[in-house]
Chain A
Amino acid sequence: MIKFFLMVNKQGQTRLSKYYEHLEINKRTLLETEVIKSCLSRSNEQCSFIEYKDFKLIYRQYAALFIVVGVDDTENEMAIYEFIHNFVEVLDEYFSRVIMFNLDKVHIILDEMVLNGCIVETNRARILAPLLILDKMSES
C-alpha cells in the first residue's frame, strides 16, 4: 500500500503531504526532511527507487518540484512511478497556472485518485468530474 504522498520543493519545503498511516507531526517533519535530502542527493543517472527504512521511496522530479511516494513491498514500483505522472497530467489538465494556491483542490484530486493508500481511480475524466461539478455549482 501507499504510505504517504509528498510534494516537496527543492528548498525542502513541503507543499503537500498526505499520510495514509498515522504519523506524529514532529515525525512527519523529520521524515520529510530526510526524504527530500535523499532525493536531492541523487543524479539523473540513478534510479527512481530508494530503499528507505522498511519501505521504498519512488520519486519523480518536475522542475523544482519533487513528488515522492512511500510504499511498502506490496506495490509495483513501475506502476507507482507512472501513477505519479498520471497525477501530474491530471493537475496539468485542470490547472493552467501554479497549483500551490489551490491546495484544497489538489487534495480533492489526490483523494479521487488515492484512497486509504490504494489507487482508486486512474481515469482522468472521472477524477476531475466532481471538481468540475463543483466549479459549476459555485459559478451559478
Chain B
Amino acid sequence: ALSPGLYLGRGLLSFCSSVKGGKSKEAEIKRINKELANIRSKFKGDKALDGYSKKKYVCKLLFIFLLGHDIDFGHMEAVNLLSSNRYTEKQIGYLFISVLVNSNSELIRLINNAIKNDLASRNPTFMGLALHCIANVGSREMAEAFAGEIPKILVAGDTMDSVKQSAALCLLRLYRTSPDLVPMGDWTSRVVHLLNDQHLGVVTAATSLITTLAQKNPEEFKTSVSLAVSRLSRIVTSASTDLQDYTYYFVPAPWLSVKLLRLLQCYPPPEEPAVRGRLTECLETILNKAQEPPKSKKVQHSNAKNAVLFEAISLIIHHDSEPNLLVRACNQLGQFLQHRETNLRYLALESMCTLASSEFSHEAVKTHIETVINALKTERDVSVRQRAVDLLYAMCDRSNAQQIVAEMLSYLETADYSIREEIVLKVAILAEKYAVDYTWYVDTILNLIRIAGDYVSEEVWYRVIQIVINRDDVQGYAAKTVFEALQAPACHENLVKVGGYILGEFGNLIAGDPRSSPLIQFSLLHSKFHLCSVPTRALLLSTYIKFVNLFPEVKATIQDVLRSDSQLKNADVELQQRAVEYLRLSTIASTDILATVLEEMPPFPERESSILAKLKKKKGPGTVTDLEETKRERSTDVNGGAEPAPASASTASTPSPSADLLGLGAVPPTPAGPPPSSGGGGLLVDVFSDSASAVAPLAPGSEDNFARFVCKNNGVLFENQLLQIGLKSEFRQNLGRMFIFYGNKTSTQFLNFTPTLICSDGLQSNINLQTKPVDPTVDGGAQVQQVVNIECLSDFSEAPVLNIQFRYGGTFQNVSVKLPITLNKFFQPTEMASQDFFQRWKQLSNPQQEVQNIFKAKHPMDTEITKAKIIGFGSALLEEVDPNPANFVGAGIIHTKTTQIGCLLRLEPNLQAQMYRLTVRTSKDTVSQRLCGLLSEQF
C-alpha cells in the first residue's frame, strides 16, 4: 500500500533504510559522508538539476539533518524549490527551510519574496505552506515583511478556513517575537468574533491567539469573555454527536474546551450576571460529568474528560469567588488523590496545592491530610512525592503543623537527595511560623540537623540562633537540648555550630546540673573541635572566651587550650588571631570589662526569615508568596542572617579584624538619596526645634509596637532607615531594668545623640526612672546601650516617652516613641485552686472593682496563642478553674512600692461571633481599668 515512488523515490528510500539499518554509528557516519559528497557534487555539477532531483537531494539532506548531523549546504537549492509550481517540490522546500534555516539566515530575503508570491496566489494550499513557514521561522525580517498583511488575511470574509487557522497562529508567532510590529487595530474586534466561527478548527486557532493578546491588552479583548463563555456553554451542553469529528471518544471538543477555559483565566469573574450565571452552569456541568458513569470504558475518554475537568478547576481556583464550586473542586480532587492512575494523583496534588491558598477551600483541603501523608509514604514516583510535600506545606496551619512537620521529618530520612534541601527549608519555615511552644521549634531544628545535616544551610541554623536569643523562655531548654544532642559520638558539624553558639550564650542556665557542669560543657565542645572546619573552630574559640566570662572556674583550662601551639601558631590567620586576642583579653581584662565585652547578645531585630527568602529563590517567585502573606514582617530587608559570633554589641567600637565580632553585623545597605526624615514630620520639627520642650510626634507604628510589648519584654521597638531601637527588659516585684539598644544602621556617624526619657507630671509621681546619658557619638554600624532602672511607686496608666535627637549628615533627626513600661510588668503570678478563685472573685464584687470589655477579635482566635499571651501578660494561667474549658482565667498580684493589688481576670472567647469578653476584678478601680484596657488590645 505504500507508494514510495511518489514522494521519495526508490533511491531515497533505500538510502534511508540503509542508513537506518547500519550496524554501528561509524558505519552510519561513513555512509552519510559518502552521500553528502555525492549530493554536493550534484549541486555543483555543470548539468542543471531538474525539480525532481533537486527535491530528492534536498529531502536527503533533511533526513540526514534529522538523524542529528549538521548540514551546511543545500539552502539555495531549497529556496529554488519554493518557486516551483509543483506542490511536492514547494512543500519539501518549505519543510527544509522551516526546519533548517534559523532566524539569522541571509537567505531570508529570497525566501520572503517566494512567500509573498504564495500569499498572493489565492491558492489555499500554497498560502498555507507560506504561512506555516512564516510561523515556523518567525524572524524579525519576516515580521517586518508580513505583519501588516496577515491580520487582513485572517479577518477577510473570503479566506478559506484552513488559511485562517494558519494565519491566526502565524500572527501569534510574530506577536511573540516582535510585538511592536503587530499594532492593535480595527482587526482586533473582528478577531474576537472568530470565537463564534462555525469551524471549530478556526476557533481553536483563534483562541490561542486571543489568549496571548488578551494577556497583554486586556481592555482591547474584554469582549472575548462573553463570547468564550457562550462558545464553551454550547460545547459542554452539546450531545456527543453534535460536534462530529471534534468529539474525541465521546468528549466534545476537549482541546478547544481547555483553551477556552484557559482564555477565561486571563480575566476576573465576568461582571454581567447573565454571563456569570452561564459560566457557573458550565463549570457545574463539567463537575457533574465527572461523577456520571463514563460513556466509554476507553482510557482516552476519561483522559480527555479529565483534561477539561482540571482546566475547569484551574479556572474556579483562579476566580476564587464561588465557595460552592471551590469545595466541589476540592472534593473532586480528593477522589483523584486515591485514583489508581498515577497521572491523576500527580495532577490532583498539584491542583490542590493552589486550592489550599484559597480561604474558601483551605479547610476542605485540610480534610485530605491523611491521604496526602499516605502518598508521601507509599508513592513510588519521586515527582508525585514531591507534589505531596508541596501540598502538605501549602495546607499547613497552626492546627496541623505538628503533625505535618513530624511527617516531613520522617520522610526526610528516606527522601531523594534532589529534594532534601527544599524539604529542610520547608520544615524550618513551618516550625518557626507555627511554633506556639518554642521548645518544639528547637527540637524540630535539631532533628533536621541530625537527619539531614548536610542539607541544612546557613540560613536555617542562623535562624534558630536568632530565635533562641530573642526568646528568653526557650533559652534554658535550648541549652539543655543541644548539650544532650552533642553527646552523640558522631554529630553533624552544623550541630557543633549551633551547640557552640548556644552554650556560649546560655551554658550558664544548665551549669547548675553537675552532669552539665562548665568543665563538662567545655570538654564536650572541645572534643569536637579537631574534627571541625576552620569557620566552626573560629566560632568555638568565641564560645571558649564567652565561657571564660560565664564560668571563672574553667578560665585556666581554657587559657591552656588557647595557649597551646596548635592555636597560637595555627596556620590559619583567623584562628591564630582569635586565639591570641582571646588569650590576651582573658589575661588582662578585669572581670567587669570581661562581663561587658562578653555580655549576652542583644536581641536580633525582627526581620523576614532569610530561610523564606532562600526558598523563594529556589522555587522562583510566586510559589511561596501565599504562605508568606500572613507574615507580619514590616521590613523588606531579606539579608538578615544572624552573624554567628558571640560577642557583645558593645565591642562595636573596638577595632577588630574579624567583622563578625561586630555583633549585629548584617547592616542593611542604606538606600541612596537623602535620608528620610524620621517621624514623618522631620522638616516641621526642624523649624521648631529651638523651642526647648519640642517633642516630635510619635513615630508612625509606635502605638502598634507599644502594644506588642505588653505581653513580651524583648524585641525591636522602633526601626527606620537610620536607626533601630531594641529592648530587653526584666521585672521583679516593683522593680525593673530595661536595656535600650540604639543601632546606627547607616555607615555615617550620628552626632549629638541624646535620648531623653519624658514622664508627664502625673506619671512622675507614680514611677521612678533612672538612667545615665549615653555617648553623644554613635559610629556607623555601631550600637550603643542604655540601661534604665525602673521603680513602680504606685499604679499608673500612662507610659513614658523616649525622645531621641541626633544629627545625621547635615540634618537634625528627632524620634519619639512610647516606652513600653506598663502596669502589668509588675505582675507576680499566683496559682490557686478553683474554689479559692471563685471565693476571691465573689469578694471583689463591688461594681468599681470590676471592669468588663466586649470586643471583636483582631487576630485569629487560637487557644495556644491566647494562653501564651495571658502568661506573657504576667498573670498565672489557671487551668481547670473555669467550668467552661473554652474560657481562660488568670490571677496575680501587682506590686508597687506602697501596696500590692490582687487581680483576677477571665477571658471568654466566642468563636462564632469572633468576639471576646474580658472581665478584670481587682481591689482598685484604676488598676482594673488599666489592666483591662491593656489586655483587650492583645487579642
Which residues of A approach B to under 8 Å, CB–CB? Answer: 13-18, 20, 22, 25, 29, 32, 42-43, 45-51, 74, 76-79, 81-83, 85-86, 96-97, 100-105, 107-108, 111, 115-126, 130, 133-135, 137-139
Q: Mark interface residues in B48-92 (1 if CB within 8 Å of A CB, else 0).
A: 000000000001001100111010000000000000000110011
- Across the interface, do A115 and B67 meet the contact criterion of CB distance under 8 Å? no
Taking the closest CB of chain B, its distance from the CB of A73, in whole angstroms, is 10
The answer, yes or no, to whether B343 is at the interface (CB within 8 Å) is yes
Residues A116 and B17 in contact in the complex (CB < 8 Å), given A13-B67, A29-B68 = no
A contact residues around B95 at 8 Å (CB): 104, 107
A32→B68 CA distance, assembly (Å): 10
The answer, yes or no, to whether B571 is at the interface (CB within 8 Å) is no
The answer, among B17, B67, B244, B347, for a CB contact under 8 Å with A77, is B347
The answer, among B16, B17, B132, for a CB contact under 8 Å with A111, is B132
7 further interface pairs, Cβ-Cβ under 8 Å (given A86-B248, A105-B7) = A46-B383, A78-B306, A116-B170, A117-B173, A122-B253, A123-B200, A130-B128
- Across the interface, do A103 and B245 meet the contact criterion of CB distance under 8 Å? no
- Across the interface, do B248 and A120 meet the contact criterion of CB distance under 8 Å? no
Select from chain A the residue with minimum beta-carbon distance to B261.
Answer: A76
Residues A138 and B169 in contact in the complex (CB < 8 Å), given A46-B380, A47-B345 = no
Number of A-B contacts (CB under 8 A): 172
Residues A126 and B201 in contact in the complex (CB < 8 Å), given A79-B307, A118-B172, A121-B165 = yes
The answer, yes or no, to whether B110 is at the interface (CB within 8 Å) is no
Taking the closest CB of chain A, its distance from the CB of B821, in whole angstroms, is 54
The answer, among A49, A74, A134, for a CB contact under 8 Å with B383, is A49
A72→B353 CA distance, assembly (Å): 19
- Across the interface, do A49 and B346 meet the contact criterion of CB distance under 8 Å? yes
A contact residues around B204 at 8 Å (CB): 119-122
B contact residues around A119 at 8 Å (CB): 204, 208, 255, 259
A46→B380 CA distance, assembly (Å): 7
A80→B589 CA distance, assembly (Å): 74
Residues A126 and B383 in contact in the complex (CB < 8 Å), given A81-B303, A115-B166 = no
9 cross-chain pairs, A with B, having the tightest CB-CB distances, nearest first = A78-B307, A79-B307, A118-B208, A46-B381, A115-B169, A123-B245, A47-B346, A116-B135, A47-B342
Q: Mark interface residues in B472-486 (1 if CB within 8 Å of A CB, else 0).
A: 000000000000000
- Across the interface, do A46 and B307 meet the contact criterion of CB distance under 8 Å? no
A111→B136 CA distance, assembly (Å): 10
Q: Mark interface residues in B803-839 (1 if CB within 8 Å of A CB, else 0).
A: 0000000000000000000000000000000000000
- Across the interface, do A82 and B304 meet the contact criterion of CB distance under 8 Å? yes
A110→B153 CA distance, assembly (Å): 23
The answer, yes or no, to whether B138 is at the interface (CB within 8 Å) is yes
The answer, among A85, A103, A138, A139, for a CB contact under 8 Å with B66, is A103
A85→B92 CA distance, assembly (Å): 26
The answer, among B67, B169, B205, B256, for a CB contact under 8 Å with A14, is B67
The answer, among A74, A78, A111, A122, for a CB contact under 8 Å with B347, is A78
The answer, among B20, B200, B262, for a CB contact under 8 Å with A100, is B20
A contact residues around B162 at 8 Å (CB): 126, 130
A120→B16 CA distance, assembly (Å): 30
Chain B residues numbered 87-114 whose CB sits less than 8 Å from any CB in chain A: 87-88, 91-92, 95, 99, 102-103
B contact residues around A83 at 8 Å (CB): 255
Chain B residues numbered 242-293 whose CB sits less than 8 Å from any CB in chain A: 244-246, 248, 253-256, 258-259, 262
- Across the interface, do B66 and A14 meet the contact criterion of CB distance under 8 Å? yes
B contact residues around A121 at 8 Å (CB): 165, 201, 204-205
Residues A22 and B103 in contact in the complex (CB < 8 Å), given A78-B303, A78-B347, A116-B138 = yes
A contact residues around B259 at 8 Å (CB): 119
Select from chain A the residue with minimum beta-carbon distance to B384.
Answer: A47
A contact residues around B303 at 8 Å (CB): 78, 81-82, 85
B contact residues around A139 at 8 Å (CB): 3, 6
Residues A134 and B87 in contact in the complex (CB < 8 Å), given A47-B346, A101-B17, A115-B165 = yes
B contact residues around A100 at 8 Å (CB): 16, 20
The answer, among A85, A125, A135, A138, for a CB contact under 8 Å with B300, is A85
Give me 15 A-to-B residue pairs in the complex whose CB atoms sit less than 8 angstroms apart, sorted by A's number. Answer: A18-B99, A22-B103, A32-B68, A46-B380, A47-B343, A47-B383, A49-B346, A78-B347, A79-B304, A79-B308, A82-B254, A123-B245, A125-B245, A126-B245, A139-B3
The answer, yes or no, to whether B490 is at the interface (CB within 8 Å) is no
A contact residues around B6 at 8 Å (CB): 135, 138-139
A contact residues around B16 at 8 Å (CB): 100-101
- Across the interface, do B172 and A50 meet the contact criterion of CB distance under 8 Å? no
The answer, yes or no, to whether B684 is at the interface (CB within 8 Å) is no
The answer, yes or no, to whether B1 is at the interface (CB within 8 Å) is yes
A122→B254 CA distance, assembly (Å): 9
A121→B347 CA distance, assembly (Å): 25
The answer, among A18, A103, A120, for a CB contact under 8 Å with B63, is A103
- Across the interface, do B7 and A138 meet the contact criterion of CB distance under 8 Å? yes
A contact residues around B68 at 8 Å (CB): 13-14, 29, 32
Select from chain A the residue with minimum beta-carbon distance to B129.
Answer: A111
Taking the closest CB of chain B, its distance from the CB of A35, in whole angstroms, is 13
Residues A102 and B7 in contact in the complex (CB < 8 Å), given A17-B66, A82-B304, A118-B205 = yes
Q: Mark interface residues in B686-699 (1 if CB within 8 Å of A CB, else 0).
A: 00000000000000
The answer, yes or no, to whether B4 is at the interface (CB within 8 Å) is yes
A contact residues around B314 at 8 Å (CB): 76
Taking the closest CB of chain A, its distance from the CB of B812, in whole angstroms, is 52
The answer, among A14, A49, A137, for a CB contact under 8 Å with B343, is A49
A79→B7 CA distance, assembly (Å): 33
B contact residues around A137 at 8 Å (CB): 87
A contact residues around B91 at 8 Å (CB): 104, 108
Q: Mark interface residues in B138-167 (1 if CB within 8 Å of A CB, else 0).
A: 100000000000000000000000100110
Q: Mark interface residues in B163-191 (1 if CB within 8 Å of A CB, else 0).
A: 00110011011000000000000000000
Select from chain B the residue with minimum beta-carbon distance to A16.
Answer: B66
A120→B125 CA distance, assembly (Å): 16
Select from chain B the residue with minimum beta-carbon distance to A82.
Answer: B303
A93→B437 CA distance, assembly (Å): 66
Taking the closest CB of chain A, its distance from the CB of B806, in whole angstroms, is 49
A82→B670 CA distance, assembly (Å): 55
A134→B70 CA distance, assembly (Å): 30
The answer, yes or no, to whether B488 is at the interface (CB within 8 Å) is no
Select from chain A the residue with minimum beta-carbon distance to B104.
Answer: A22
B contact residues around A32 at 8 Å (CB): 68
- Across the interface, do B102 and A22 meet the contact criterion of CB distance under 8 Å? yes
The answer, yes or no, to whether B311 is at the interface (CB within 8 Å) is yes
B contact residues around A115 at 8 Å (CB): 132, 135, 165-166, 169-170, 205
- Across the interface, do B380 and A43 meet the contact criterion of CB distance under 8 Å? yes
The answer, among A17, A123, A134, for a CB contact under 8 Å with B88, is A134
